[in-house]
A and B are shown apart, each in its own frame.
Chain A
Amino acid sequence: MEILFNPHHHETFAVTNGDLSFYKLCYGDIVEDEEISVCRFHSKDTDVNTDVKCMAWHPSEECSDIIALGQSNGRVVLKSVEFMDYSSMVHLPKREFFQKHSKQCNALAWNTHHPNWLAVGFDKQKQSSLVVWDVNSKGDFSHMTERNKLSGSELNPSPNQPSVVVKPLVELTPGESVNSLAWIGQSGETSTLIAGFNHKFLRVYDIRSPSSSISSSTINHKATSGICIDPCCDSRIASFGENSVSIWDLRKFVKPVVNIPVNNNIRKVEWSPHREGMLAVLLNSGHDGFGVASDNDVVYVYELHKALYSDQDLNIVGYQPIVRTVKPKLPAGDWMTWVNGFTWLPVQPNSLLTLSNASSFHVTGILERTSACWNGNRSFSVTSGYDCFYYSHPDNLAFHQNSDSIFSAEFVDVGQIIMKRAKNNYGLVNENPLKNIELCLEPENIDLHLLWEWIDRINHLTQPDSSTPAILSPSGPQPTTGFIHNKPRSTPRRQSLKIGKSAYFSGVLAVMKESIGDSNTNHSTTETIQWIGVPSTKSFTYTSKKRNAVLSLCDWGSSVGKAVERFGRNSIGEALVRRLQTSGATERACTIAVWHLDLKLAIEILNLASSKKGNTDLQFSAVAMALSGYTGSGSPTLWLDTCRRLQNELKSAYLQMAFAFLIACAEENKSNENESLKFEPILSNKTILVQDRVAFACIYLPDSSLVSYLSRLASDVTNLGTLSGTLVTGLTGSNGVQLLQNYVNKTGDMQTALLVIMQTNNSQTLLGPNVLHWKESYCQLLNKWKLCLERSEFDLQWAKASGIQRTTSQVYIHCNYCNKNISSTPAPTTTRGRGYMGGGIGMQSSISSCPSCRKPLPRCSVCSMHLGTRHNETDVSKWTSWCMKCRHGGHQAHLMEWFEKHVQCPVTDCECYCGSDLPTG
């Protein structure tokens, strides 16, 4: 089985499988991995279409329709294949070459340089088994290559006498069968022929030598079949013997460079016409009736690298080529189908055309080895074969949530977000932490928002400008902030409690622990609160100053300053509920109203919401109905059972918890359950915000169970890395750092962790190993992104937060004449200059001479004006800069402008390539 493409008409190919057939292939129709359709066409001369052992297309373009066929009867036939588009052209007659008593013809090869030379190899016979015919010779076809003359009638022998004995140009008699042969050096002039003989030896002939004798030594080697020369490298030859492929280098034709052992007998080897050193190998089908050899449905492709040196280095010890397998998609599960033949596609690189024993054709590509590598700038480059490209993220693509879901939730490139945030000054706007919510670029990340809201509340609660601690402020309306501080229930106690920022940052757990441990007045008092909307029903609550402080921290403080009571009409509770309702959180508002024992308010909120929504959502009305049925501890069992069922059907976790609370209160007297267990469903519900759970616990849990609950919650949020859990764990303790570390592990967002913990200004925490590691990583990222300004801003804040002394300036500009530092001395013109600022005459105030010796400063090499800046100049473009190599410099802005277009120093005669070291893009 052999497949051979016409060297000039890439769509045409011949297939021999005993008989001979021709096909046309339409490249546009090729679909990889599917059977492809080919168009078969027949040649007129059917008589030679049998017993074809080998074939070769004529190498020259004008005779490209001619194919030489070697037959088992020893005849070599030249025949013209009528292409469709050649139908109007010449009708080349059949021409035959033969020797008397010839045996089977095994190999054919045209010489590309002398296109009339055809080398033919035969089985072992008395006469020469390797001959070269000049197909032009012996009169009949004196000008074979001239197509027009071929078609001339006088040269056209009678079709009835096709057989003309032509004496070969060269006859070689090695006394062995020829397995394969090839002309060497096909790219240039050549007359050297290599042939392999009967699994015994390989020999190179130069047919120009008069004796037609051997021109090279004989190599005794078994790999004598399938000799082929790498079209991309003349000196590289492949041949095969039993179970092994040998690669030879002709420059050192002594032994194979590489032997590649294979598992089975080899059917065919062929070099890729496109890629150097790529050899495809097909093994015998090995179908033995008992099953299939595993190798019969693939073509192996070996990638060999360039042989570099002609010295002994050709023998690379342990060298192994890379093996690729090409597996045409034969009918699945059909073990009766295997690859019968293949050839490289002449046009499409790295693709093989395979023919199965079921006569189906497939085109299968070899996958290129691909290298993809991330670059620093959130892009990555890909190389594959001859292609090279890089993917980059355009900076201008906004992180809009609704812009065609560009960033799907499951794929957020943290690096990219971190960079955008860094540019936005995320985490560094200390005066308003709420701004970070907008800057964090994660509109969906509630935890992140809650985190910054918490920071914001801490800042407000510890506002230094309020004379008394904020939580004790009797009436502290601060309408501008919208955050007002909870006032303790009894105003006289205003003197004692002072919770500092550091206490808040140590977490609610730490605050409560300390409070409980303290045996003084800080013990909580119990109160009995009358329900609103449920007559004669009361509930126990706990209160203390610390609890109230925590409630404020949980955002359960009120927003109207007048309210002093947590429960009842016009209380803190009602204000909180109203505030939540206005912000649209109906379910949360309703549930918190219930938790504040105000059923009237809860029902009112539900009714409002359902009237707003119209009748589409009946759930709110249904819930309102259910709520109104509550009658305290005397609630009927039927109501309780119905509520339990309803509870499970509710979508909102908050509404579920409203009922959980009611049920718990109703059954209060029935069971002797522990107080803390009573509310367990609410307290352990992870969908309820951490702050609401903490606030709830602060009202309804007694001291002991409150602390144990908070400890439990702290370890929960720490393990999960729940950002909003910092409320409980704080940031300064080990729990808080661990929580953030778990968050970083989960998300890779060390930026938030780092910037949040910097809010604590606690140097001990900040200099811990985890935090320092975040800082190091973050700084490295900023460096890589060339965010120098962001980096310096960060460094300043870090120094402030961690209390580490900033490194003082290490570089000074000194005067060339008096050697005095010119930057540290306040400019004498400063005071006056300030008066003139504005109106564009600020330049007047800049120093252009040395403040000590009054000698002028050097001139800018671009504008030739004297250098010098105003004292404390903040506009970087007016600063002075210079090259570290040639020491020439000038105004920053001028230099930037210059180096946009040049790489060399602006100073005449200075050869320095200052610009080539500029890191700017």
Chain B
Amino acid sequence: MVSVINTVDTSHEDMIHDAQMDYYGLQLATCSSDRTVKIFEVKNGTQRLLTTLDGHEGPVWQVAWAHPKYGRILASCSYDRKVIIWKEHDGHWSKLYEFNDHKSSVNSLSWAPHTLGLAFACGSSDGSISVLKHMGDNQWDCQKINNAHSVGCNAVSWAPATVPGSLIEPPSNSYQNNFVRKIASAGCDNLVKIWCEKDGQWIEEDKLDGHTDWVRDCAWAPSVGLPDSKIASCSQDGRVIVWSSSGKDGVWTSKILEKFEDVVWHVSWSLTGDILAVSGGNNKVSLWKEGLNGEWTCISEIGKGQSNSNSVCD
């Protein structure tokens, strides 16, 4: 894969844990152990620091952009047990909402598909998952899944809202009910769990057992014209597993993509869901694609030490 590497001089004073580009790829939000969130404008390979958001009292683990139709909204979750929703207004960023109902570090945060309204889910080391929905006027309705994972929840990921069949019905008042409300979560109980909202309650729909150590991350693949649901998960045991389900019988089948030597920290699907980025240690990121025979192959590997900016590599 040919790509240009743009190094971002973040001026964070401690480890950087996450960097997320906004919907249009114009602004980059980063977060760090130095307790700050920074937002950069990214243009033609150069970056300009727009703002530094202070407010967290511990390392900030993850940031996430809301869909732009709700305005410029960023959420961050931190070790300080808080989730903060930030909003830009007239070029100025300010804290919109602070959620601190977790008893321990909030490790992961994920916005719901925009068709479900302004809502997000977050998972905490206290083992619970919270789903917050904006009810208007900065009122947030919180639904909590207690004891989702014993010892702690490491990651949450929403299912895509649209699956085949959900759009058959013509637009009507009940239109929204056709959308899928599901969350996959990864935890320290070595499990990936799937949660489904039914009658306003989040219930455990499935339990994916395949890892032998903490599951660090899980990611629901975007469904781009595909009938199957896919979830990728990665674990401290070094395994990356792709789970897939045809949706009809609700059976999930697992396929071990690879067993790595060290902890695998994150998995991320490309926009069209055809390439999976797997990040292990030391900047090592590998890209995987499923072949026609259903086997996953590594199509690209990005090693460490590529700090020279704007170089073309393949």
Contacts and interface: CB of A to CB of B under 8 A. Distances in A.
Question: Is A bound to B?
Answer: yes
Contacts of B55: none
Chief secondary structure at chain A's binding surface: mixed
A368 B6 contact: no
A532 interface: no
A776 B165 CA distance: 12
Contacts of B45: 392
B201 interface: no
Contact of B20 (A375, A781, A921): A375
B271 A367 contact: no
Contact of A781 (B57, B167, B224): B224
A773 B164 contact: yes
B266 A373 contact: yes
Given A308-B58, A776-B162, A370 B225 contact: no
Interface string B275-314: 1011111111101010110000101101010110100001
A835 interface: no
A406 B225 contact: no
A7 interface: no
Given A377-B25, A916-B88, A392 B280 contact: no
A385 B15 contact: yes
Contacts of A373: 18-20, 266, 268, 277
A387 B292 CA distance: 36
A569 interface: no
A275 B14 CA distance: 8
A376 B105 contact: no
Given A781-B271, A916-B90, A769 B167 contact: yes
B86 interface: no
Contact of A374 (B2, B59, B270, B302): B270
A566 B21 CA distance: 62
B266 A415 contact: no
A921 B283 contact: no
Interface residues of B, number: 94
A912 interface: yes
A63 B18 CA distance: 44
A145 B227 CA distance: 77
B283 A387 contact: yes
B270 A413 contact: yes
Contacts of B22: 376
B58 A324 contact: no
B252 interface: no
B263 A384 contact: no
A370 B3 contact: no
Contacts of A778: 225
A776 B175 CA distance: 14
A921 B272 CA distance: 22
B23 A772 contact: no
Contacts of B268: 372-374, 380
A726 B158 CA distance: 36
Contact of B8 (A369, A389, A415, A917): A389
Contacts of A383: 16-19, 30
A390 interface: yes
Nearest to A350: B282
Interface in A900-921: 903, 911-913, 916-917, 919, 921
A582 B12 CA distance: 65
Interface in B90-108: 90-91, 104-105
B6 to A, nearest CB: 5
Contact of B152 (A318, A389, A913): A318
B270 A377 contact: no
A93 interface: no
B91 A903 contact: yes
A384 B282 contact: yes
Nearest to B29: A381
A305 B57 CA distance: 12
Q: Which of A770, A776, A912 has the most chain B CB within a 10 Å cutoff?
A: A776
Interface string A356-378: 00000000011111111111111
A389 B299 contact: no
A324 B72 CA distance: 38
Contact of B17 (A371, A372, A769): A371
Contact of A919 (B21, B24, B222): B24
B269 interface: yes
B277 A374 contact: yes
Contacts of B89: 913
- List 8 A-B pairs, minimum CB-CB distance, nearest first: A367-B281, A750-B225, A377-B25, A375-B21, A913-B90, A372-B279, A391-B3, A415-B272
10 contacts: A317-B104, A373-B268, A374-B270, A379-B3, A379-B25, A381-B28, A391-B6, A746-B292, A773-B164, A778-B225
Given A319-B125, A382-B19, A385-B16, 10 more contacts: A275-B15, A375-B20, A376-B24, A376-B25, A376-B271, A379-B21, A384-B282, A388-B16, A741-B227, A784-B271
Interface of A: 275-276, 305-306, 308, 316-320, 322, 324, 365-394, 397, 406-407, 410-411, 413-415, 418, 741, 744-748, 750, 753-754, 769-770, 772-774, 776-778, 781, 784, 786, 903, 911-913, 916-917, 919, 921
